[in-house]
Structure 1
Amino acid sequence: MDTEQISAPSRAQYRVRRRVTAFGVIHVNAIHTSRFTIVGNHLAQHGALSLTAIGLAVHIQSLPDGAKVGIKVLADRFPESEARIAAALRELEAHSYLARTVERLPGGRVVTRTVSHNHPDAAAGSVPPAPEPPAEPERTPVPAEPPADAPEPPREAAPPPQPAPAPVPRRAPEPEPERAPEREAEPEREPAPAPAPAPLRPPLPQPLAPEIHRTAADLLAGLRRDDPRLILGETDVRRLAPAVAAWLERGITPETVRHTLTGGLPHPVRRPAALLAHRLTVHLPPRLPDLPPPEVVHPMHDCTGTCKRVIRAAEPGPCRDCRLAAEATRAEAA
């Protein structure tokens, strides 16, 4: 029994069992000694704020005083768009985690002041002050005992007893008013440029002779025979018929117009009337230039004068030389 057991452990092995769950989160925490921010669960587990607003509030609370937290600055810092960041800031304002005011500086410049509250009650100034540590009781110094061989000091007459002073109640120190963080001055935003007006659509071509409207209307109504997707209503047919008549007036045959309107259609055809109006307007051919009058070739005739030569003339008669000779003879006779 007195033999030492070499294989036995020298002391019991203690192991702290970690609770393992089949589901849910498991926290592995490390102690922060620098660069950390205290965030309350009222913000981290807020039931009415979006995740974007909660993350943005934590980011703003971690920034030092004077840091810029404008919408454009945050949009450059994070992948969220300016619209989502602006919506998150409005959520924080609605739940008293943020306050933004627009102020005009003496020089006329308009800036936005931003104040971040780490607790909703901080906006109304109703955060309870932190409890002060209890004051330590005052210790009365104990006089040192005189040595045994020291002569006993002469005894003085004891003073008459005096009434104990009434205790003075101590007032608790008033909490210092919490200083509001310095508000950030954001640069004035330039007004967004006005959107450019939409280009006006060119008007549909109009014919000069309205007699061919019936032919144009029949052509449009029959397009659904070539392609079932080109079904037009009566209103669209009446609106597009003058444009088709303008094509026919410029010498384009109905078959050519039908081929132009039905060839190479996209898939699917969502607005057939708008597609046909575009093609009739954009692909309208120009008018043909006027042709020069054809040269007239007169038939051959024999001169009826004295020369009897063959000449070209619209009607039979004397040639130019015979006419001049006859006129000279008449002038001499006169």
Structure 2
Amino acid sequence: MATKQPSPAPSTPALSRPYPMANPGYGKRSVPGQPAARADDFALLPARERYVAGFIDHLPDGAAMDVKSLAKQLPLYGQQAVGSALKALSVAGYLRRVRCLVGEGEQVRWVFRTFWSRTARDNEWWGSHLAAGERETAPVVAAPAAPPSWIPVEEPPATPAVPQQRTPEPAPTPADAPSPAYLALAQLGRTDPRLALSAADCAVLEARAAEWLARGVTTDYLTQALTAGLPPQVGSPVGFVRRRLDDKIPPRVTPAVVPPASGGPVHRTMMECTKCGVPGRPEALPDGLCRSCGLPDPSAPVDLPVSGLAESEVHARAGHVRELLRSR
């Protein structure tokens, strides 16, 4: 009787209940032109990444791809391990996190998607794919067709002149009403108790959070960037939030609601860092990671040569370690 060989990685868990779907327009998006699924699709990945990749590959398009939703369905790993696996899968070329501008005119909004490829792709392929998707999603406004010459055109009736009416003035906003930045900071403790801030803390950090909103991000995006990948314990919530507000502030991006007067292209697709969510163009996020998140993990072991290190190499490695500690 033949015996089964043990798998080098845990098998993909079976869903005991329906997997949560993201809001319409969000979630997982499979890239086109993928080969059929095979048992050895992710055989070259480490056990944890192979386990997470196999699970994501079986999810339908539109499934929620945030770390919390994935960790709830993966019994072997917690949120921190799932976040690290997603970062590794991004570096390996299997996924990219992207924000897309949908809608037309003034009715536009950003939606957040995770593009997934069963085959590992390089940075050039992902850049070309996202650029092609941007061209396909750009709205095309067609000019109204002129009526045929044989159809008589009726002149609209003249509108009688009406005296200009006075419009009611908007109600004044209370001077002490909290700003959106202050409210977003005040809600952090309800999103995650580890980041509970006092009223004084919110007042101190309000200007920094307002700078994020001034750069075009929403309060939901601000909350997600501040609460993603938290350590098990946060000793000083106000210090931790201040550091993230300073280190991970997004770049200034001109709102792409109305095409520029010069006729230049409107960027309707923008990649995000897989780990921290900072937006940017594909060339600024190699392997789907920003510069800070792409640094080597300082907790990873360093292989030392048997013969020892020269003095110059010792100084170089010490400088590298100091740079990693400053970036944390």
TM-score by length of 1: 0.26
TM-score by length of 2: 0.26
Between Structure 1 and Structure 2, the one with more helix by share is: 2
